[in-house]
Copies of this chain bind each other. A is one copy, B any other.
Amino acid sequence: MTGKILIVDDLAINRIILTAKLGSACYETLTAETGAQAIAMARSRRPDLILLDMMLEDTDGVAVCRSLRADPVTAHIPVLIITASTEQAQRNAALAAGANEFLSKPVDETTLLARIRNLLRAAETEAEWRRQETWCSGHGLAEPAAGFVAAQTRVALLGATPQMARFWRKQVAPLCPQMRFESIGTAEALSYAEGAAPDVFMIVAESPVALRLLLDLQARRATRHSAYCVILPPEAGDQAAMALDLGAHDLLHLPLDAEETALRLGMQITRKRRADALRRTVERGLNLAALDPLTGLLNRRGAEAKLLHLALQARQNGEGFAVLLLDLDRFKAINDTHGHGVGDEVLRQVAARMRSVLSPQDVIVRYGGEEFLIALAGVLLERARAQAQVLCDVIEQTPIATAGGEICVTVSVGVAPGQCGADGEDMRQALARTVDQADRALLASKSHGRNRVTVFEAASLPR
C-alpha cells in the first residue's frame, strides 16, 4: 500500500524532477500534463494526493481544484499546489477553491515531504471516519457536522507570555472579525476544563518551546481534539516541517494575510466539526445497538454492561442493590383481543410509567416480549420490595388508553438481593444467580394469583 501521488505539470522536466524526488521517498507516482487529463486520472486511478501546477495548457490549477472538489469521487483527495507564483491573490483563490496547501517555488524538499506526510495522515484519518459514516449516515445515526459558523467559533491566540498573546490577538482578531478570539498564556492553555477548550489554537512559534507546547496540549484530554495552527516567521523551512511532523494541522507565515488566515482557519474548523460529529455519532450508534426500539429501554444486549457496572460499584462502595423481574399479567390475551398494535402501545406505556417512578441511576431493561428487568442501585431488600409495590400500583391504578380503548393491566414482580460476587467469585456468575432468584420469585408471584410482589428468600422458595 504505497502512497500514490498524481503529479500534474505541463512541463516534462518538472514532472521528471518530482517523479524522481517522490520515487526516492518511496511514493508511487502518476503524471498528467493537462487539467483534463488530471481530472480523468484522479477519477480512474484514485491517487492518495495530487501535486498540482498552477499554470496548465488547457486551464489553471484553481479550476482543476474546483472540479475535483465538486465530484464526490475525488472530493476528498488532498491537493497541494506548487507554483512559481508568489502572489497572495492566487494563493487565496487556490485555498478558496479547496486546495489544502499552496507552495511557491523554489520548494524546500524537507518541507514538501513533511507536508505530504501530514496531508496523507489527515486523509487517512478522514477515510476512517468516512468508512464509519457510510454505516452511520442515513441510519438516523449520523449527526450532521455543524457547518462552519464563524460567530460560534472560538480561537485562542497563544504566546509565550500573556503580553505576547494579547499582542498577537490584536494582530489576528481584526483579520477574522466574526470569530471570537481569546489571548492566553501557556499555563492557561494547559488548564482548560474538559469541554471548555477553544476550537482552534493559534500558536506563535517564537521559539522551539512553542512546538513542545503543541505536543503538551495534544496530550491533555481537554485540548486533544482542538485544531492547531502554527504561526511562523517568513522563511522557516525546517521549523515548518517540524511543526507539521509534530501534529500541527496547518501553518501560517508572517506577515499574515487577512483572507488567507480566514480561509485556513475555516478549513480547520470545518475539519474539526466533522471529527466531533463523528465521535458523537459513533457513540450514539453504539448506544442504539443497546436499545429496544419499541420502548426505548435497554435491550438484553445492552443490559449486561450496565448490570456489571452497577455490581462493580456496589462491590467498591459496599452498597447493596436489587434486581426485579416484572412480567405483564395475561398479556397474550391483550394481543389476541386487540391485536398487535394495541399490545405494542401497552408495552410502551408500561415502560413509560416505570421510568416515571424510578430514578435515573436505576437500570430498566426490556428483557423479553412482555418481561422487564429492573436493577435498583444502592438499596437494601426492604426498599426494593416497597419500590416493586410502587411499580405494581402505578401500572394497576390507571387503565392504559390505547387505540383499542382503555385496557386494565397488572404486573407480577419477583425481587432478589443483588449479589456482586464477593470472595473472588466471578461477577457475571453472581449476577446470573441473582436474576435466576428474581425469576423464581416472579414465578411464585404468578402462581399465587398475579398482581403481586414476591421477595426471594433462600429457604422459602422451591428450586
* Interface positions of A (Cβ within 8 A of B): 1-3, 25-26, 72-73, 113-114, 117-118, 120-121, 124, 127, 132, 134-141, 186-187, 190-194, 212, 215-216, 218-224, 245-246, 282-283, 285-290, 293, 299, 301-302, 304-305, 307-309, 312, 316, 332, 335-336, 339-340, 369
A304 surroundings in chain B (CB, below 8 A): 138-140
The 3 closest A-B pairs by CB, nearest first: A138-B304, A1-B222, A138-B305
A219 touches B120 (CB 8 A): yes
Nearest chain B CB to A137 CB, angstrom units: 5
B246 touches A289 (CB 8 A): no
Using A191-B2, A194-B1 as known contacts, say yes or no to A286 and B132 having CB atoms under 8 A apart.
Answer: yes
Q: Which residue of B lies closest to A124 (CB)?
A: B221
Please report the C-alpha to C-alpha distance between residue A192 and residue B26 in the assembled complex, in whole angstroms.
Answer: 12
Nearest chain B CB to A292 CB, angstrom units: 9
Please report the C-alpha to C-alpha distance between residue A335 and residue B336 in the assembled complex, in whole angstroms.
Answer: 8
Q: Which residue of B lies closest to A214 (CB)?
A: B245
Q: Which of B25, B224, B286, B293 contacts A216 (CB 8 A)?
A: B25
Q: Which residue of B lies closest to A123 (CB)?
A: B219
A193 touches B1 (CB 8 A): yes
Central interface residue in A134, A135, A187, A224, by most chain B CB within 10 Å: A135
Q: Which residue of B lies closest to A312 (CB)?
A: B72
Using A1-B193, A139-B304, A332-B340 as known contacts, say yes or no to A221 and B127 having CB atoms under 8 A apart.
Answer: yes
B245 touches A215 (CB 8 A): yes
